[in-house]
Each structure stands twice: as structure tokens, then as C-alpha cells.
Amino acid sequence: MNMQEKLPDTSGAPDAGLSSLFEKVGILGAMDAEIAEFLKHAEILGRTEWRGFTFHRVKLAGRHVILVKCGIGKVHAALVTQHLIDTYSPTSLIFTGVAGALNPAYEIGDVVISRDCIQHDVDGRALGFARGNILYTDLKVFAAHPALVDLARTTRVDGHHLHVGRILTGDQFMTRDEINHHRYMLDELAGDAVEMEGGAMAQVCAINGLPYLVIRTISDRADGDAVLDFNRFLPLVAHNSYAVVRHILNSLR
Ligand code: ADE
């Protein structure tokens, strides 16, 4: 594909009836703890191994779902997303798991639904490109599918808030030192939460013309306690993302 060309805008696809979005959903998480709740509640139909990744064919809330742990980082997320698309022809894709908060109003355990994603570590400014702009393309802000966002935002998460915000993705685990050296994540890119895979999946979805959504539970504040909090809260909070996915899968009965 000539990457200078505009990609199809699937974000607003009015003809994609809501139900058709959920005919076969691909769900990715980076770590075991991030997909554990899904596996616990799913009816397993089968599994296939590919290059060390396990693709689970399951039924969840009566829907056909392909569930996979892709590992951490943008390359893993992109690789597994493209294989999932080529092999299973999903109608939409969801990335689920945890994120660090950038927005001071977000608390640990809150859920953030992606309005859009930007890859914060893409930097071609020396060549005249804006930060986050994938070089020599029009790609920078990857909008999630608005109907998926609207459905997800109606979930009630017990004891926590649900936000719709901008997710920044990059191959760095962010702590306070990192953020202090990367003020642009707040000032320029206006990020609400930071993680390491969503924007990569979003780019692959854009190239393939597929709707996507990222659902992340806040595990830390990307600050001086980030490492401690991440390890402590990951297993406790990851299931909040599951509640949102279950809600959207159930909404269309
Ligand atoms: N995922 C969860 N917390 C994170 C952080 N602080 N930085 C990057 N990815 C994260």
C-alpha cells in the first residue's frame, strides 16, 4: 500500500450495524493476568498455537471470540494482531489490560476507554513530522470506533469510575523520571493514560480497515511508585476491563 494514501476511515462506519461488529471479536491482552478473567468465564471451543502464541477460540457472552496473549510491546501487538486478522477474519478487535494514569483525575482501578490512541515514541521531528506522526504517512491519531466507545461507556464498574480518554502507546514502562523527561506526553499529546500495545494494534486495524477499541484499567500513576503499584495492582484490577467487555458483548442480545 502506498502509505501516503489516506486509509479508509472505519471510525465512523455508519453502515456497520452494531451487531455485525460483534460477529467475531478478537480480544488481545499482553500478559496472563490481563486475559485470565476472560479465560475463566469463556467456553473454550479450541486452541491453536502459532509461533509460541496461543489463539483460544471461545464463546463469551454468547459471542464467538478469539482470545490471545500477545506479550508486551508494540512489535508483539502488531505481529499478533495481523496474524489474528489474516487467520480468523474478526469483525472487530479489542485490546484489554492495564495502563498507567497520566490524567491526575484517574485513580487506580478506574477504567479508561480509548477515544483514540497515539504512539508517543514515534518521533520524526528532525524530518519535519509532528511527534506521533508515522513518518511519510497521514497516520497519527487512531480513532476508536465511536459505536464501540458509546457502548463501553455505559458500563457500571463497581466502586470505580469509567473514563473515555486518549491512550498513549510506546515501548517504555513510564515512571516519574520518564514522565519528567517526556513532558510532551501531557503538554503536547494530551494523553490520559499510557501503555505499551494499544496504539500498535490500532495502527494495524487502520491499515486493515477494522474497527477497534482499547479498554484499560489503571494499575499505577506512571509516577515514583509505578513499578510497585503495577506489580501490586495488576492482578487485582485487570478484571475491571473484563467487566466492560462483558457489558458490551451482552448489550446486543
Ligand atoms: N502499563 C501499566 N502501567 C504502565 C506504565 N506506567 N507505563 C507503561 N505501560 C504501563
Nearest CA to ligand 1 atom 10: 195
Nearest CA to ligand 1 atom 3: 100
The dihedral built from the CA positions of residue 75, 224, 242 and 152, taken in this order, carries a sign that is negative
Number of H helices, E strands in the chain: 8, 10
Separation CA 132–CA 214 (nearest Å): 18
Gap from CA of 148 to ligand 1 centroid (Å)? 23
Rg over alpha carbons for the chain, rounded to the nearest Å, is 17
- Give the domain extent around 217: 19-250
| pLDDT greater at residue 5 or residue 35 | 35
The domain total for the chain is 1
The dihedral built from the CA positions of residue 149, 153, 154 and 158, taken in this order, carries a sign that is positive
For the whole model, what pTM was predicted?
A: 0.92
Asked if residue 242 belongs to a domain, the reply is: yes
| Residue 221 Cα: closest atom of ligand 1 | 6
pLDDT tens profile 174-195: 998 887 878 899 999 999 999 9
Name every residue whose Cβ is closer than 8 Å to that of residue 135 and which is 6 or more positions away in sequence.
Answer: 122, 124, 127, 129
Contact 96, 35 (CB under 8 A): yes
Amino acid letter for position 94 = I
Contact 134, 238 (CB under 8 A): no
Separation CA 166–CA 113 (nearest Å): 8
SS3 state of residue 222: coil
Which of 74, 76, 95, 98 to probe ligand 1 with, by most ligand atoms within 8 A of CB? 98
Active site residue 23: no
Separation CA 143–CA 213 (nearest Å): 9
Residue with cell 491453536: 48
Asked if residue 3 belongs to a domain, the reply is: no
The pocket around ligand 1, CB under 6 angstroms, is made up of 98-100, 173-174, 194-196, 219-220, 222, 226, 230
Asked if residue 10 belongs to a domain, the reply is: no
Separation CA 179–CA 121 (nearest Å): 12
Grade residue 251 by pLDDT with cuts at 50, 70 and 90. Answer: confident
Gap from CA of 211 to ligand 1 centroid (Å)? 24
Asked if residue 6 belongs to a domain, the reply is: no
pLDDT tens profile 98-157: 999 999 999 999 999 999 999 999 999 999 999 999 999 999 999 999 999 999 999 988
Amino acid letter for position 196 = M
Asked if residue 9 belongs to a domain, the reply is: no
Asked if residue 246 belongs to a domain, the reply is: yes
Grade residue 206 by pLDDT with cuts at 50, 70 and 90. Answer: very high
Active site residue 107: no
Which of 117, 194, 237 to probe ligand 1 with, by most ligand atoms within 8 A of CB? 194
Asked if residue 8 belongs to a domain, the reply is: no
Separation CA 181–CA 162 (nearest Å): 28
User: Residue 253: what pLDDT?
Assistant: 62
Q: At what angle do helices 74-88 and 198-208 cross, to 10 degrees?
A: 40
Asked if residue 238 belongs to a domain, the reply is: yes
Phi, psi dihedrals of residue 206, rounded to the nearest 5°: -60, -45
CATH code, domain carrying 61: 3.40.50.1580
Contact 96, 216 (CB under 8 A): yes
Nearest CA to ligand 1 atom 9: 195
Gap from CA of 99 to ligand 1 centroid (Å)? 5
